Structure 1
């Protein structure tokens, strides 16, 4: 006897898929913002640590901001395009298999009886689902629902670029408006606070412990800033 799965209710499936898609976009946005904050701040702090005046620091920060946003967009587009092609290929194969599957009415009725449907109701459902026009519509509906889960590469690209830019603007603007004597300290504090906020937000969305998530990104950001500042300081002392 062939194995037949009971179809899920479309309304429940659509609602769940939509909620999951929104959470995925929010998480992707937070990751892009984190990357922008850390990447641009690391460049700014590293160049400032080398003892460069505000002009070169701003130039380096601006280049990191633009280049990072473009790189994020390109990387997301290429990555998501490949994943989408693979997903659609799998969907087409599954739909073709379901469309050609010769499931008998007895198999379908047994599947519904297994979840508690009465004999008469299960037989009626099986007879209806066994009709060719109903089966074709069922396959088409499943394909449409699966298509909604395929992420758009263009949307992924601009979301990544936009969130990276928003995050990167924080250290860049701090460089622009903060006095040189306290520039590095202000950037470090602002970056760590922003990372704590994004880490906490991501934990709330994912249902994870907030403190642990925030601590992870703060420690990672602090390590990146420390490493680039030390590198800039050492290079500046020997090369400038």
Structure 2
């Protein structure tokens, strides 16, 4: 038998990658949009910086809380399904075996082979097999609330710090174009890195992130310019 080496699959990144991209993208877009909106209202640079810092802190906490709550709800649902499946395996094993075999028939095995596979996998790890093949719950895709919350908050802070740093470093007269241009550049880099890490099209990732980021910044700057007040 040939030696089999463990294969590398990018789906192992799916848990933290989604949270990291969401946090960094939201950090860049929301903070840059806030800065541009306030700057468009013709306020002072100190007011822009205060608004940016407040947006960074509030956004990071909101991301952490939102991710934790939403992913915890997913985790609760998964655990409830697993607990129910455990009871069903203990009280009606034959029906669960038939159900598992039917799943494999649906995936292309003939009935006899599907029944044999179901028997062997049930003997090896009945609950794990049903969690994976019936419920679709795997170690890679399972909910991790604390990980999602921490990654989202940290990536938000990193993303938000970039436009905020530019707003602090550049003269107020050129703050708006510099923050807008550099934030778009940051989004291009983020989109490219996220796509590369996930093994997707880099061009598609860049266009997707940059387009929506530019749209959000333009809308917020427009509100600030139209009403002449800090938004």
Q: Residues 67-216 of structure 1: matches in 2 within 5 Å?
A: 67-100=58-91, 101-102=93-94, 114=113, 135=123, 138-139=125-126, 142=129, 148=139, 149-216=141-208
Asked whether the equivalents of residues 200 and 213 of structure 1 are also in contact (C-alpha less than 8 Å), the reply is yes
Q: CA deviation at 1:144?
A: 9.3
Match of 2:20 in 1: 29
User: Normalization by structure 1: what TM-score?
Assistant: 0.74
Distance 1:181 1:171 in 2: 16
Distance 1:141 1:75 in 2: 29
Distance 2:111 2:220 in 1: 62
Distance 1:187 1:98, change over 3 A: same
Moved more, 55-64 or 25-34: 25-34
Task: Extract unaligned runs of 5+ from structure 2.
Answer: 102-108
Structure 1 residue ranges, 4+ long, deviating more than 4 angstroms after superposition: 110-113, 140-147
What is the number of equivalent residue pairs in this alignment? 207
Distance 1:89 1:20 in 2: 25
**Bigger Rg, structure 1 or 2:** 1
Q: Could you report, residue by residue, the CA deviation over 1:2-61 in whole angstroms, capped at 9, with x for unpaired residues?
A: xxxxxxxxx98xx88x95342331132012100000000000011011111111101100
Task: Extract unaligned runs of 5+ from structure 1.
Answer: 1-10, 116-121
User: 1:41 aligned to 11, 32, 44, which one?
Assistant: 32
User: Normalization by structure 2: what TM-score?
Assistant: 0.76
Q: Could you report, residue by residue, the CA deviation over 1:101-149 in whole angstroms, capped at 9, with x for unpaired residues?
A: 1359xx9xx989628xxxxxx7xxx6xx59xxx94x6236558985745
